[in-house]
Chain A
């Protein structure tokens, strides 16, 4: 479980994250949603320590992450897997080497055990036998899946996914969403997904935090969101006319 308490962050004189508190539960897909520039990626970067918070607490199973020393922070980070928006795979390495990398650095496994683990992770993300491909040879969806395989290779307790669906077609996006949710349930991971894709919110949003202009504006789950009366959230959810029509049609039935 990860709990954030009253965290805030300013860049220059711009308040980007304003007094946000939330509990990200273990074994659930926790979503942070909001418009572009609302501060959701900044919240995630604060949580993993890529930016420093101005105030508040970030508790990883009770440990206040920002106050830890360098060594202790590294120990917490070893329990984190992260899927970056662009994948962030190492271009000069094959998929096998990319996925094996965290194991090389932090495990005492034999080469054979590492290879078994790599193949297991590739199976999980439906990239069986693609071990020797380079990131440059993969499509966008495959890159995301490969990055997901790397993120889970070291059995993380916490999984962060930054806009896992961006740039993907709806069908591939659903595959990625389902993968994230099934991995979360199967391995009882605390998963945090940053997204502004409404399909994802409804499909996998077991706990949702809506951020509006850096502030926590609404919390609930992916099903509740369609019944919301919050005007800003309504604007966000039904930003597309198509979504509105679908919702009205379903309600009429």
Chain B
């Protein structure tokens, strides 16, 4: 029953979020601020993780591909497929759920317990729209760029590690990352990214918005935001994969 309560309340909140903004120019300014807050600030962690993960994938693949019938360009191919299909769109989004999700939930939760949300309501502002819509819009806009950078850096990391360890030649790796490329897989990846961006920002906002109590409850909301965002990312990953691969 609690699941239905949360689902109902979540959809009511989303309806409020997408109601007409009071002043579009102020919302646009908020979106730009959120793009910086959500997106740009996440760039360093994404870059580091992606570069090293790409490298690790290449090294592990090189270690596994011992058979002489497997061509060396398979290293580039494997790294590309891993990064494009799963690591960048799903694992990086799970990492972002931890970083951004807890940030959003604690920010909105703190505003709730210090009556800042009440202050917005009393001013005649749709607090749900004003606080949450710019976060969702910023997430949906900036996540694809972050993930594209993650994909590029992951493959680049694989290339560097491949060269450094002598697992394959530059030509073989580059040939591998171009081999058997199917563009629809990019649609698949970015469909996932946009869906996950919406889930992370909206679910985290939901938990923050309905925080009740004090600092302890803000912490609990942050935890719930990360846990539920992560679970839903995994569920939707499965659903979208089923839709694209069957």
Which A residues lie at the B interface, using CB under 8 A? 48-50, 73-78, 80, 82, 84-86, 88-91, 101-102, 104-106, 154, 160
Contact = CB atoms under 8 A, between A and B. Distances in A.
19 contacts: A48-B122, A75-B124, A77-B122, A80-B124, A84-B118, A84-B119, A88-B118, A90-B116, A90-B119, A91-B110, A101-B123, A104-B23, A105-B22, A105-B23, A105-B124, A106-B22, A106-B23, A106-B123, A154-B123
Contact of A82 (B26, B110, B119): B119
A80 B121 CA distance: 10
Interface string B164-180: 00000000000000000
B22 A50 contact: no
Report, as a range, how many residues of chain B touch the other chain: 10 to 19
Given A105-B22, A106-B22, A50 B123 contact: no
Nearest to A89: B116
Contacts of B110: 91
B56 to A, nearest CB: 38
B115 interface: yes
A88 B124 contact: no
A2 to B, nearest CB: 14
Given A104-B26, A106-B22, A82 B122 contact: yes
B84 to A, nearest CB: 37
A88 B119 contact: yes
B115 A85 contact: yes
Contacts of B123: 77-78, 80, 101-102, 105-106, 154
Nearest to A45: B118
A103 to B, nearest CB: 11
Interface string B109-129: 011001110110111111000
A77 B22 CA distance: 13
Interface in B125-158: 125-126
A73 B118 CA distance: 14
Given A75-B124, A104-B26, A50 B116 contact: no
A88 B114 contact: yes
Contacts of A89: 116
B134 to A, nearest CB: 13
A161 to B, nearest CB: 12
A213 B214 CA distance: 26
A161 B14 CA distance: 31
A199 to B, nearest CB: 24
Among the interface residues B23, B110, B119, which one has the most CB atoms of the partner chain A within 10 A?
B119
Contacts of A78: 123-124
Contact of A77 (B26, B111, B124): B124
Contact of B116 (A75, A88, A154): A88
A78 B23 CA distance: 14
A102 B111 CA distance: 17
Among the interface residues A49, A75, A91, which one has the most CB atoms of the partner chain B within 10 A?
A91
Given A85-B115, A88-B114, A90-B116, A50 B121 contact: yes
A105 B118 contact: no
Nearest to B115: A88
A90 B26 CA distance: 15
Given A80-B123, A88-B118, A105-B26, 11 more contacts: A50-B122, A78-B123, A80-B122, A82-B122, A84-B119, A88-B119, A90-B111, A90-B119, A91-B114, A102-B123, A105-B125
B124 A106 contact: yes
Contacts of A84: 115, 118-119
B118 A50 contact: yes
Closest 6 CB pairs of A and B: A77-B124, A78-B124, A88-B115, A88-B119, A74-B124, A84-B115
Contacts of B124: 73-78, 80, 105-106
A85 B121 CA distance: 16
Contacts of A90: 111, 116, 119
B242 to A, nearest CB: 39
A160 B121 CA distance: 14
A78 B120 CA distance: 10
A88 B116 CA distance: 5
